[in-house]
Amino acid sequence: MLLLPSASAKLKALQAGALTRRPVIKPVGRPVFPCEPVVRVSLWISVAVVAALFGWGAWQRRWIADDGLIVLRTVRNLLAGNGPVFNVGERVEANTSTVWTYLLYAASWVGGPMRLEYVALAVAWTLSVLGVVLLMLGTARLYAPSLRGRRAIVLPAGALVYIAVPPARDFATSGLENGLVLAYLGLLWWMMVCWSQPLRVRPDGRVFIGGLAFVAGCSVLVRPELALIGGAALIMMVIAARDWRRRLLIVLAGGLLPVAYQIFRMGYYGLLVPGTALAKDAAGDKWSQGMIYLANFNRPYALWVPVVLLVPLGILLTVARRRPSFMRPALAPDYGRMARAVQSPPAVVVFMLASGLLQALYWIRQGGDFMHGRVLLVPLFCVLAPVAVIPVLMPDGKDFSRETGYWLAGVVGLLWLGVAGWSLWAANSPGMGDDATHVTYSGIVDERRFYAQATGRAHPLTAADYLDYPRMAAVLVALDNTPDGALLLPSGNYTQWDLVPMIPPGTAPGIPATQKPQHTVFFTNLGMLGMNVGLDVRVIDQIGLANPLAAHTERLKHARIGHDKNLFPDWVIADGPWVKWYPGVPGYLDQQWVAQAEAALRCPATQAVLNSVRAPLTLHRFVSNLLHSYQFTRYRIDRVPLYELIRCGLEVPQLPPAPPRE
C-alpha cells in the first residue's frame, strides 16, 4: 500500500528546504518597478527632447580636429596592412584611445567607399548622443523604485546642463574619442545602477555580472585615466560578490582584455603607456596651469550657477526618496553588511560623484589641456549623472502631508526652472569671446573656432579642408618639387618650406647605393599633414606624439600645455639620410649642433630605445621590448646635443667654427 505524506510533513520539508537554499528571483515579463504611465511618457519625452537638442546642436558645430585626423592616419596604416602605426617602419602609438582607433578601423569597413573623415564624424556624433541618452536612462532607473505606484513627472536637469555647455557640442563631432567616452560612461552608469538594484537582474546572473565586469575593465582602453573609474567599479563588484566563483569571473572578465593588450603594447611599442602619455608626461604635475584651465572653463558659462541649483535639488530628491522594503528579501541570507552597502543605489551614486571629482583632480594636476574645456567635460558628465533627470512628485499624502508635498514639489520646480533658464543662457554664450582664437600666455584656445578661422571654413571636416591652413598647400608643392627626397622644415614664410636635401645614395657611410628617395616633414600639426600626404612620407613633430626621439625628452616647465616638449630640428637632420653640412643645412641652424646630435644618437641607451620601435618585429624583439618596457618608458634624453653627449659620456666632435645660431 502506498503511503502519502501528511500535510504537516510536507510543510516541515518545505521549511527545511527554504532554510538551506538561497532564494532565486526569476525573471519576470513585466517591469519590476511598475510606474504610472505619466512617469514613463514624461521620461521618454525628456530623453527624446534632450537627444534631439544635443544632436542638432552638435551638428550645427560639426568639425574634425587636427588631432582627430591623427587617429585617421593610423587607421589608414591599418587598412594598408602596415599595422597600428603612424609612420611606416616606426612602431609609435600616436593615439590615446585604443578602442577609438580600432572602432574607426571596423567602421571604415562598414562605411566602404565613404571618406574616413565622414566615418569618424558619423560614429562620433552617434556615440555622443547615445551617451547622453544612456546617462538619462540610468538615472531614471535609479529613481524607479521610489516611483513605484506614484504619480510624477520626469524632467531633464543635469543632462540639460551638459548639452548647454558649448564645448560639449564642439567635441561631440571632433573626430576625437569624446563621443566614445560619453557612450562608455553612460553605459557603465546604467549597468551599475541595474547592478545596485538586485530586483532588476537575477542575483546569480553570471552573464550580466560578466558583462558589467568586461565593460568596467575596458575603461583603460577607452582612455587610460578612466581606469580610475573602471577599477573602482571592479573593486565594488569584487566586494559584493558572494563566493570565489563570482570573484574569479569578475577578475577574468574585467582584466583579460586589458592585460592582453598591455602585453601587446609592451612588446610591440616597447612602452608601458600610450605614446601620447609619454609625450605629455601624464604622470607630471602643473597645478597652477590646471587652476588656470579650470577658471578658463568656468568663467564664460558661470558653471557655479548650476552647481548651486543642483546640489539642493539632489538633497531634496534624496530626502523625498522612498526606500522600498520589498527589495531587502531579494538578498541571500549570507549576504554581508559590507556587500549590501556596496551593492546599493547610494553607493553607486557616491561612486559616480567621486569618479567625477577624481577625474577633475587628475586633470587639474596634469595642467588641463590647450583645448578650451575639453578634458573637464568627462568630470562634468560624471557629477551630473545622479541628477541627469529628476522626478517631480505629485502630492498624494502617503509619505508626506499634502502641504509638505506641495512645498517640496514647488521648490523642486523652481530649482528646475533655474537650471533650465541657465541652460538656455549658457547654450548661447559667446564662450571665450575675443580670446577664443588667440594663443595667449595661458595657451588655451577654442580649438573649433581657431581652425575655422585659420582655414576660412565654418565646418572643416576633411583633410582637404585643411589645405587652406598656413603651409599646408605649400607642403604638397615642396614634395612634388623634390623627387630625389628631402627633409621639409617649416620656414618663416607660410607659403614655403625649408628643404634639406637627401644625401645621394652610395656617397656616404650608411647610405647604400640602393637607397630610395625619402621624404620627411617636421611640423606640429600631424593630423592635417598626415592625411594630406602619402603613407610613404614620414611625418614627425617636435612634441613627440609621433616622434620617438622627441617623446623621450624632458617636459619644459613654462611651455604651452600639451606642447611642452620641443626637439630642435638639428636632431631630425642628424637622425636621417639628410645632408649635414652647409649649404644643405639651413643658415639658421648650427652645423656643430647637427654633428653633436649625430654623435649623441650613438649613445647605447638611445640606440636601444630607437631599435625597440624601428628594428624588425621578431619574437626576440617582442620579448626584449616586453622585458625592457619599464626602462624604455622612463628613459629621457637632453634636448641640447652637447649636454646629451656629456650625459652619455661620449666624446664631443670637433668641427671648424660655424656661424652663430639666429
Mean pLDDT of 152-175: 95
| Cα separation, 583 vs 570, whole angstroms | 14
The predicted structure's pLDDT at residue 9? 52
pLDDT in tens, 585-614: 998 999 999 999 999 999 999 999 999 999
Closest CA to 229 of 260, 189, 258, 272: 189
The predicted structure's pLDDT at residue 545? 94
Mean pLDDT of 118-147: 94
Amino acid at 202: R
Alpha helices in 481-590 (DSSP H): 526-532, 548-551, 569-574
| Cα separation, 136 vs 156, whole angstroms | 8
The predicted structure's pLDDT at residue 3? 45
| Cα separation, 537 vs 193, whole angstroms | 49
- At residue 563, does pLDDT exceed 90? no
- At residue 82, does pLDDT exceed 80? yes
The predicted structure's pLDDT at residue 336? 75
Neighbours of 72 (CB within 10 A): 25
| Cα separation, 138 vs 155, whole angstroms | 14
Closest CA to 207 of 246, 242, 261, 241: 246
Percent of the chain residues topping a pLDDT of 90 = 71
pLDDT in tens, 300-355: 999 999 999 999 988 888 876 655 544 444 444 455 788 888 999 999 999 999 99
Query: How many alpha carbons lie under 13 Å from residue 399 in its C-beta half-sphere?
Result: 18
Report the SS3 class of residue 467. Answer: helix
- At residue 531, does pLDDT exceed 90? yes
The predicted structure's pLDDT at residue 135? 97
- At residue 521, does pLDDT exceed 80? yes
Percent of the chain residues topping a pLDDT of 70 = 88
Question: CB burial class (10 A; 0-12, 13-18, 19+) of residue 555?
Answer: middle
Positive or negative torsion for Cα 143, 144, 147, 151 = positive
Report the SS3 class of residue 458. Answer: coil
| Cell numbers representing residue 590 in the block | 648650427
Which of 20-29, 175-184, 275-284, 569-578 shows the lowest per-residue confidence on average (mean pLDDT)? Answer: 20-29
Residue ranges of the domains in the chain? 37-321+338-428, 463-648
Mean pLDDT of 134-155: 88
- At residue 388, does pLDDT exceed 60? yes
- At residue 415, does pLDDT exceed 90? yes
The predicted structure's pLDDT at residue 326? 41
pLDDT in tens, 101-113: 999 999 999 888 8
| Cα separation, 500 vs 484, whole angstroms | 11
Strand 519-522 versus strand 538-540 pairing type: parallel
- Compute the C-alpha angle 140/142/147, nearest 5°: 75
- At residue 155, does pLDDT exceed 50? yes
Q: How confident is the model at residue 123 (pLDDT cuts 50, 70, 90)?
A: very high
| Cα separation, 179 vs 131, whole angstroms | 7
Give the long-range contacts of residues 394-402, CB within 8 A, separation 24 or more. Answer: 394/150, 394/151, 394/152, 394/153, 396/150, 396/151, 398/150, 399/320, 399/322, 400/320
- At residue 2, does pLDDT exceed 80? no
DSSP 496: -
- At residue 520, does pLDDT exceed 60? yes
Q: How confident is the model at residue 442 (pLDDT cuts 50, 70, 90)?
A: confident
pLDDT in tens, 633-661: 999 999 999 999 999 999 999 865 544 54
Which residue's C-alpha cell is 611640423? 523
The predicted structure's pLDDT at residue 21? 46
Question: Which position has the higher pLDDT, 322 or 455?
Answer: 455
Mean pLDDT of 573-596: 92
Which of 87-91, 283-287, 592-596 shows the lowest per-residue confidence on average (mean pLDDT)? Answer: 283-287
- At residue 380, does pLDDT exceed 90? yes
- At residue 122, does pLDDT exceed 80? yes
- At residue 4, does pLDDT exceed 50? no
What is the rounded average pLDDT for all residues in the chain? 88
The predicted structure's pLDDT at residue 199? 56
Q: How confident is the model at residue 192 (pLDDT cuts 50, 70, 90)?
A: very high
- At residue 35, does pLDDT exceed 80? no
| Cα separation, 396 vs 399, whole angstroms | 8
- At residue 483, does pLDDT exceed 60? yes
